[in-house]
Structure 1
Amino acid sequence: MTTRVNPIPDGYKSAMPYLSVAGAAAAIAFYKEAFGAEETLRLEEPSGKVAHAEMRIGTASFSLADEYPEMNIRGPKSIGGTGVIIQVYVEDVDALFKRAEAAGATVKRAPTDEFYGDRSGTLEDPFGHVWMFQSHKEDVSPEEMKRRFAAFFTK
């Protein structure tokens, strides 16, 4: 008899970011210090290059690895930026921003109370990845959100 394996492993979401980083070991250390991330797995080549690592910030999981230019896998610093923002909900966005800025992150947009009910801000890590951290502060109905959205553009 064959045992059925869950196609989405326990503890994983069906979608999660996979970051390419120039200097993955340094990035892992930064994410731990700046974001309070927990490293759950690291696979290193004999040379020390990180082939695959997995991390968690609260309940948000992400993977990362060093760049592999020979396979056209490059991080944002190598390609001139990124069009992707990694969005993560945290308990206290203001505390996280203080911690991240002290660790070397660049604040792009300081945490602000938003019309959709979250306190949200954006920062860039030293490796070129852009993160939006949010704390949910208010439940807003779709109708109220549409009203607030329209009012936002009439200021």
Structure 2
Amino acid sequence: MSTQEQNTQEQTTTPPPTVWPALAARDALGMIDFLERAFGFRRVVVMADDEGFVHHAELAWPEGGGIMMGSEKHEGHWQQKAGTFGAYVVCSDPDGLYERAKAAGATITMELTTTDYGSRDFIAADPEGNSWSFGTYRGEPH
């Protein structure tokens, strides 16, 4: 491989995620099931005890990146209230994802729309009240 080919490959290779949105859930195992069924996340790891308390979970987004999550904690260093999370997730087929989310019982809080900047978006709430915005806008280049 030439130096130019190697430099081009290095510039176009996306590094693994280093920023992980994190959420807490009252029913973390149920939330993981919902996120897979409604939106298409894929569970990578789930560390739960015998009572179903999720200490740590990672879910991958099929188009890159992912989230970390666990059961709601009321003591310790990391405390986060369930139902207070919000995320914008880039997707290439918002119309198909919208239909999938509706079929899985997601509450649609903003119908499919095309924004004035050209993104195709919708917003849904999960069973615990978190907001999930999906759209085609990929953000500005860095």
Shift of 1:14: 2.4
Percent of aligned pairs with the same amino acid: 29
Q: 1: CA distance between counterparts of 2:16 and 2:131?
A: 22
Q: 1: CA distance between counterparts of 2:65 and 2:111?
A: 21
Matched, 1:73 2:80: yes
| Partner SS for 1:70 | coil
Q: 2: CA distance between counterparts of 1:40 and 1:131?
A: 20
* 1:99 alignment partner in structure 2: 100
* 2:65 alignment partner in structure 1: 60
* 1:131 alignment partner in structure 2: 132
Shift of 1:11: 6.2
| Partner SS for 1:40 | strand
Q: 1: CA distance between counterparts of 2:52 and 2:127?
A: 20
Shift of 1:47: 2.4
Mapping of 1:7-18 within 5 angstroms?
A: 12-18=16-22
Aligned length: 124
Q: 2: CA distance between counterparts of 1:107 and 1:45?
A: 32
Larger radius of gyration: 1
TM-score (norm 2): 0.78
Superposed CA RMSD in Å reads 2.3
Q: Which runs of 4+ in 1 moved over 4 A?
A: none
TM-score (norm 1): 0.72
Shift of 1:120: 0.9
| Partner SS for 1:96 | helix
Shift of 1:136: 4.3
Q: 2: CA distance between counterparts of 1:73 and 1:112?
A: 31
Can you give the 5+ residue segments of structure 1 that lack an aligned partner in the other structure? 1-9, 77-81, 141-155
* 1:122 alignment partner in structure 2: 123
